Amino acid sequence: MPLFFVQENMNLDDVIEITGEDAHHIANVLRMGKGDDLQISNGRDTVCKAQIVEVLFGGKKIKVKIIEKNNFEMRGPRITLFQGVPKGQKFDFILQKNTELGVAEFVPVITKRTVVEIDRKKMKSRTERWQKIVKEAAKQCRRPDLPKVHGPVDFDECVAALKKYPLVLVPWEEERKIFLKPFLSSFSEKIREIAVLIGPEGGFSEDEIKKARESGAVTVSLGKRILRTETAGFAVNTVLMYEFGDFGEVVE
């Protein structure tokens, strides 16, 4: 059943209007009509089954009636990905795939080796575009909670933000003692909130690693292979969701 997001509170028997791109997609791409069912979510804590009651103006407006309401909560850990901003369209891919995995928040980080120049005047529009990518990825994988994309921060701001997390993981190619899988297996209880810090192309400088460690971060090895910036976070978050999250659980 396709999933769409709305920004309003939802109660049983409410009639809600869907407009814009979502309405077009429902009527003209999925070719759904009166009597068809879909899911709508507020992106936070409520997901509802709704039935189309009216299609207006050639699919520019859809009216749906709430026929079933459910509250939900995340089953796995709440993961925040602090990602060194990479070149080109790689960040789009990072947002999309890590949304599918269950990452809750994304924070782009400007590091010493970041090549991309962030135009402060375009930051708002760029962040809005990133948020749209996340929304589309959540719809595609039918994830009812909508991740948040923050605006870019510099490395010192990033380090300050890391201090609130009970566990911060930094994959680092120079780490020789702590390996991700056995390290995570050493925890007797599931960690509910985790930050993952990934460097851009070229990785982190030694000074940045030092600052991260001083803030409480743990540098970990991912093994013999050195992963690309767009792959590293995906690999770490997959392991986290397997170890602490809902991978492998029975789907009801």
Per-residue confidence band for 31, with pLDDT thresholds at 50, 70 and 90: very high
Q: Note the pLDDT tens digit of each residue in 123-179.
A: 888 899 999 999 999 999 999 999 999 999 999 999 999 999 999 999 999 989 999
Res 54: pLDDT: 92
Write the Ramachandran bin of 73: left for phi over 0, alpha for psi from -120 to 50, otherwise beta: beta
| Distance, CA of 249 to chain centre | 20
187 pLDDT exceeds 90? Answer: no
pLDDT at 34: 94
The structure's pTM equals 0.89
Q: Which CATH superfamily is domain 78-244 in?
A: SPOUT methyltransferase, trefoil knot domain (3.40.1280.10)
Output b/e per residue, 20-44; b: 16+ Cβ within 10 A. eebbbbbbeeeebeeebebbbbbbe
Task: Say which amino acid occupies 112.
Answer: K
- Least confidently predicted of 108-117, 180-189, 212-221, 240-249: 240-249
Q: What local confidence, expressed as pLDDT, does residue 249 receive?
A: 60
Cβ atoms within 10 A of the Cβ of 77, count?
23
**Domain-wise residue ranges, the chain:** 3-71, 78-244
Please, what CATH class does the domain formed by 3-71 belong to?
Answer: mainly beta
pLDDT at 36: 94
Give percent of the chain with pLDDT exceeding 70: 98
R_g of the chain computed on alpha carbons: 20
